[in-house]
């Protein structure tokens, strides 16, 4: 029988052995409260790999002593989901407590697969526990997301990694039989990137590559890993750093840096559609009205990446990245909608829409003046006539301010001044 990996041998069995995520499992953490009350909602654990999502799910089930079903979104389909739900239904007949259904990589479930969970979750047949490395807002359907709490798990810091390393060396039966001296930890922690599983796997590699006394220092760790060292890990901590650098390079109009970070993501196996989605957001948020064609190209890129996939999609992604990076920039639309939303969220007066802008589908509405005095723009010279469109109490309020530092929005600003004069400011 093959020996279990170190990460599996050291998997915590209780909340007190769990390392990290103090905001969730600490003295006042929400999971401590779950265990105290025995009442737990469906929830989704969102965070990078190796931070304890699966372990926490198993501890919840063990502590509350309920049936625990597991599905992997990579291998399970609607059929498997329904089979598990049927088992949970039968169990539910003999117990008031619902079974736990743990779905790893729930972001990989299709809409139909996620739809098949809704009834069982809503009726309390199962308490769903999902684990995902992707933002649930994008990857989980709204009806299912609304029935779940989302808890964010963080990469381990060096102090927590040090606790884990010491536990491995002092508690694992296999490692205790080896003569191991740790002189330096920097390389161990740097290459693990906040991922507990990766740290233990690296330790496994280093120990397995040595005989006799094992001295762990930065040079030895680097030599052992060699080509196994990932400069970019699409599922690890560097994922967030590299995509952040990519976005800021495009925003900062540096096509060379942007292409470099794009190459790092692609070489690391990043999902091309994730990159394409970021490019669409960049086109709207950072290029905006300075070059409206940017959004058209980004959308075309998104569609193309879906259609052709890798490796050819790298060319489309590169073309769009360079185009957006070299385009003039404006966040005026982004700023405008944020300003309007902020005003609407704090405005509780429910300001009435002016009567002349309302439709009059009934005689009563027509009699009350709905739609009266509305001026149809196309009946006037230049297809424009001045009239009030905002509620009277907001007349003259300015949400959109053209960015006059680029040619495209200079034209917009000039047209607005020509049409509206000083109504919305000079």
Give the pTM. Answer: 0.54
- CATH number assigned to the domain comprising residue 406: 1.10.3710
Determine the pLDDT at residue 248.
92
Q: Is residue 331 part of a domain?
A: no
Determine the pLDDT at residue 230.
46
Most confident of 3-7, 235-239, 250-254, 385-389: 250-254
Residues 36 and 131 in one domain: yes
Determine the pLDDT at residue 240.
67
Residues 31 and 145 in one domain: yes
Q: Is residue 13 part of a domain?
A: no
Please say if the pLDDT value at position 259 is more than 80: yes
Q: Is residue 132 part of a domain?
A: yes
* Range with the poorest average pLDDT among 93-97, 106-110, 119-123, 419-423: 93-97
Handedness of CA 278, 279, 280, 285 (dihedral sign): positive
Residues 123 and 29 in one domain: yes
Please say if the pLDDT value at position 219 is more than 90: no
Burial of 245 (0-12, 13-18, 19+ CB in 10 A): middle
Residues 34 and 72 in one domain: yes
- CA atoms within 13 A of residue 11's CA, in its CB half-sphere: 14
Please report how the helices 272-282 and 293-308 are oriented relative to each other, as an axis angle in degrees rounded to 10: 170
Distance between start and end Cα atoms, the chain: 79
Residues 293 and 393 in one domain: no
Confidence grade of residue 390 (pLDDT, cut at 50, 70, 90):
confident
- CATH number assigned to the domain comprising residue 181: 1.10.8.60
pLDDT digits (tens, 9 = 90+) for 153-174: 988 889 999 999 999 999 988 8
Q: Is residue 249 part of a domain?
A: yes
Handedness of CA 67, 73, 79, 82 (dihedral sign): positive
Residue of 392, 396, 389 whose CA lies nearest to 357: 389
Separation of alpha carbons 327 and 308, rounded Å? 26
Q: What is the mean predicted confidence (pLDDT) over 178-184?
A: 88
Most confident of 101-115, 130-144, 318-332: 318-332
Confidence grade of residue 239 (pLDDT, cut at 50, 70, 90):
low
Question: Looking at the 3D structure of the chain, how many domains does it have?
Answer: 4
Please say if the pLDDT value at position 228 is more than 60: no
Instruction: Kindly state the percentage of the chain with pLDDT values over 70.
Output: 93
Residue of 192, 287, 278 whose CA lies nearest to 235: 192
Q: Which of 152, 179, 201 is the last residue of a domain?
A: 152
pLDDT digits (tens, 9 = 90+) for 9-52: 899 989 999 999 999 998 888 998 888 888 888 999 998 888 89
Using an 8 Å Cβ cutoff, are 280 and 351 in contact? no
- CATH number assigned to the domain comprising residue 257: 1.20.272.10
Separation of alpha carbons 35 and 259, rounded Å? 49
CA angle 66, 71, 72 (to 5 degrees): 145
Please say if the pLDDT value at position 209 is more than 70: yes
Residues 45 and 101 in one domain: yes
Using an 8 Å Cβ cutoff, are 121 and 103 in contact? no
Residues 299 and 361 in one domain: no
Better-scored residue on pLDDT, 231 or 360: 360
Q: Tell me the residue range of the domain where 97 lies.
A: 21-152
Instruction: Kindly state the percentage of the chain with pLDDT values over 90.
Output: 23
Q: Is residue 12 part of a domain?
A: no
Residues 380 and 267 in one domain: no
Determine the pLDDT at residue 302.
92
Q: Is residue 37 part of a domain?
A: yes
Please say if the pLDDT value at position 417 is more than 60: yes
DSSP 3-state helix, strand, coil percentages of the chain (rounded to 5)? Answer: 55, 10, 35
Separation of alpha carbons 281 and 36, rounded Å? 43
- CATH number assigned to the domain comprising residue 66: 3.40.50.300
Determine the pLDDT at residue 229.
45
pLDDT digits (tens, 9 = 90+) for 353-382: 888 878 777 777 777 777 788 888 888 888
Cβ neighbours for 185, distance < 8 A, ≥ 6 positions apart: 158, 162, 165
Q: Is residue 5 part of a domain?
A: no
Q: What is the mean predicted confidence (pLDDT) over 126-131?
A: 91
pLDDT digits (tens, 9 = 90+) for 296-330: 999 999 999 988 888 888 999 999 999 999 999 99
Residues 139 and 218 in one domain: no
Residues 254 and 218 in one domain: no
Q: What is the mean predicted confidence (pLDDT) over 135-145?
A: 85
Q: Which of 104, 119, 152 is the last residue of a domain?
A: 152
Q: Is residue 101 part of a domain?
A: yes
Residues 251 and 212 in one domain: no
Residues 89 and 200 in one domain: no
Mean pLDDT of the chain: 84
Q: Which of 123, 152, 181 is the last residue of a domain?
A: 152
């Amino acid at each position: 029988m093959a020996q279990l990996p170190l990460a599996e041998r050291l998997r915590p069995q209780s909340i007190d052995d769990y390392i990290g995520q103090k905001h969730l499992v600490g003295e006042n953490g929400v999971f401590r409260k779950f265990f105290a009350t025995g009442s737990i909602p469906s929830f989704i654990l969102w965070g990078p790999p190796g931070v304890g999502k699966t372990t926490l799910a198993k501890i919840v089930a063990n502590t509350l002593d309920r049936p625990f079903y597991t599905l992997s979104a990579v291998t399970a389909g609607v059929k498997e989901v329904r089979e598990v739900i049927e088992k949970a239904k039968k169990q539910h007949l003999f117990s008031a407590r619902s079974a736990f259904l743990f779905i790893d990589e729930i972001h990989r479930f299709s809409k139909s697969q996620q739809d098949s969970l809704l009834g069982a979750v809503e009726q309390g047949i199962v308490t769903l526990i999902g684990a995902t490395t992707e933002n649930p807002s994008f990857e989980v359907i709204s009806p299912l997301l609304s029935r779940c709490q989302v808890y964010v798990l963080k990469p381990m810091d060096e102090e927590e990694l040090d606790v884990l390393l010491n536990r491995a060396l002092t508690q694992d039966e296999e490692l205790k039989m080896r003569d191991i001296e740790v002189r330096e930890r920097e390389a161990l922690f740097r290459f693990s990137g906040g991922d507990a599983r990766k740290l233990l796997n690296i330790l496994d590699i280093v120990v397995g590559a040595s005989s006799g006394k094992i001295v762990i220092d930065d040079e030895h760790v680097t030599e052992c890993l060699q080509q196994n060292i990932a400069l970019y890990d699409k599922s690890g901590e560097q994922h967030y750093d590299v995509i952040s650098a990519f976005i800021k390079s495009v925003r900062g109009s540096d096509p060379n840096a942007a292409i470099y970070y794009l190459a790092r993501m692609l070489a690391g196996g990043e999902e091309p559609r994730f990159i394409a989605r970021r490019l669409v957001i960049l086109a709207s948020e950072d290029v905006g009205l300075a070059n409206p064609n940017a959004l058209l190209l980004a959308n075309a890129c998104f569609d193309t990446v879906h259609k052709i996939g890798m490796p050819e999609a790298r060319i489309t992604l590169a073309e769009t990245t360079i185009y957006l990076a070299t385009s003039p920039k404006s966040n005026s639309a982004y700023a405008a909608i944020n300003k309007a939303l902020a005003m609407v969220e704090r405005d509780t007066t429910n300001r009435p829409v002016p009567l002349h802008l309302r439709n009059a589908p009934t005689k009563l509405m027509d009699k009350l003046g709905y739609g009266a005095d509305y001026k149809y723009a196309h009946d006037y010279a230049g297809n424009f006539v001045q009239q009030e469109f905002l509620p009277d109490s907001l007349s003259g309020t300015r949400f959109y301010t053209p960015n006059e530092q680029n040619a495209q929005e200079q034209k917009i600003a000039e047209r607005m001044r020509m049409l509206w004069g000083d109504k919305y400011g000079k």
